[in-house]
Amino acid sequence: MSKNKTAFLSYAHEDRGFAERIATELRKAGIDVKIDIWEIKPGDSLIQKIFVEGLSNCDTFLILLSNASVRSKWVREELDYAMIKKMDGVTRIIPLIKEKCEIPPPLRTLLWVDLSVDFNDGIRRVVKSIHDVSEKPPLGKIPDYITELKNSVGGLSRAASTVGSILLSPRDDQLGFEKGYTAEEIHHLVSMLTEEEINDAVDELGEYGLVHTRKGIGTAPYNFVSVEPTYALFLHFKEEGMDYDPIEDIKTVASAVASQKSGIDGNGIQELCNLQPVRINRAVAYLEDYGIVRVRKFLGTAPYSFGHVEAIRKTRQFVEENCK
């Protein structure tokens, strides 16, 4: 069986009636309150009863603050002793406000209970504090809209990382062009995100060049019609369990281009590298963007996004430095 909580109530003689009312209510709540009018009998030692039996053995020191008590030398003695016990980690001090008065400096950093406003509510607060009852709600389950989000990838927000991972989903290997997603399709796949969060995620991906976004009129609540990945997205997510390494594709395609003095088309690269058209397109786009190859584009080259790729000085330097 658990031990009853004990409390010592310090007060000025002028506040005896109010102090007795406090002690009575606390005892009703299972708190063994030590108060001189109940504990000290004629002939008892005040020092023994207050400082040895009372203050030394209590869990909580209650001090009733009023105009009378802040002037009381005896109350100050009890408070000084209680402060020592508090510093030793033995006793908790709870100031109780009876009326507006000057708070003693040692108590100004403590949270007090104002009994002058609502006595019953104040007593309930004291009881909960002494019994270590917290009003903090229980810790619940982490919501799905958090647990289902992907952890940050390369500094992206979790929402952008989650949307970006969707754009990496498998597609028909023979398709040369990236698979795009409408705003509605994305929201269906990441239903834990709000429309605003999806807009922000796509905007973030676009800011870093990881996606191409098609915009239009009448797309509210979305800021875009559809979105598709760029080669940069695959490079950004290359450590996230992808089934191939886009860096190796870039090196392989660069080597194939460098091996052909008169240039090469998409079919020629595929024959040399044995890569799907979409991966060849990504590698060529990277090499073009970084000025490593010269690319010629014209109609009728599907499934490739280019017509002809030629090696230049930077192509040969790239291969020499990275493909040996």
Convert the pLDDT of each residue in 191-231 to its tens digit: 889 999 999 999 999 999 999 999 988 899 999 999 999 99
Residue 47 has pLDDT above 60, yes or no: no
pLDDT score of 100: 86
Q: How many domains does the chain have?
A: 3
H/E segment holding residue 106: none
pLDDT score of 296: 94
H/E segment holding residue 244: none
- 136 assigned to some structural domain: no
Widest pairwise Cα distance in the chain = 117
* C-alpha to C-alpha distances, 167 to 15, 198, 226, 285, nearest whole angstrom: 74, 13, 11, 18
**Domain boundary residue, one of 87, 106, 130:** 130
In the chain, the DSSP E strands lie at 5-10, 31-34, 60-65, 92-97, 113-114, 181-182, 211-214, 226-229, 293-296, 308-311
Convert the pLDDT of each residue in 229-284 to its tens digit: 999 999 999 988 888 899 999 999 999 999 998 999 999 999 999 999 999 999 99
pLDDT score of 74: 60
Half-sphere exposure of 121 toward its Cβ, with a 13 Å CA cutoff? 5
- Please name which of 62, 83, 53 lies closest in space to residue 127, comparing C-alpha atoms: 62
Give buried/exposed letters for 1-11 (b at 16+ CB in 10 A, else e).
eeeebebbbbb
Residue type, position 257, single letter: V
- The answer to whether residues 125 and 226 belong to one domain is no
Higher-confidence position of 157 and 37: 157
- What's the whole-number average pLDDT of the chain? 83
Instruction: Quote the tokens at residue 77.
Output: 């003695």
- The answer to whether residues 250 and 225 belong to one domain is no
- The answer to whether residues 227 and 253 belong to one domain is no
Coil/strand/helix, residue 136:
coil
pLDDT score of 104: 77
Place of tokens 């979790």: 158
For residue 290, what is the domain's CATH number?
1.10.10.10
- The answer to whether residues 11 and 118 belong to one domain is yes
**Domain boundary residue, one of 209, 236, 263:** 236
- The answer to whether residues 266 and 191 belong to one domain is no
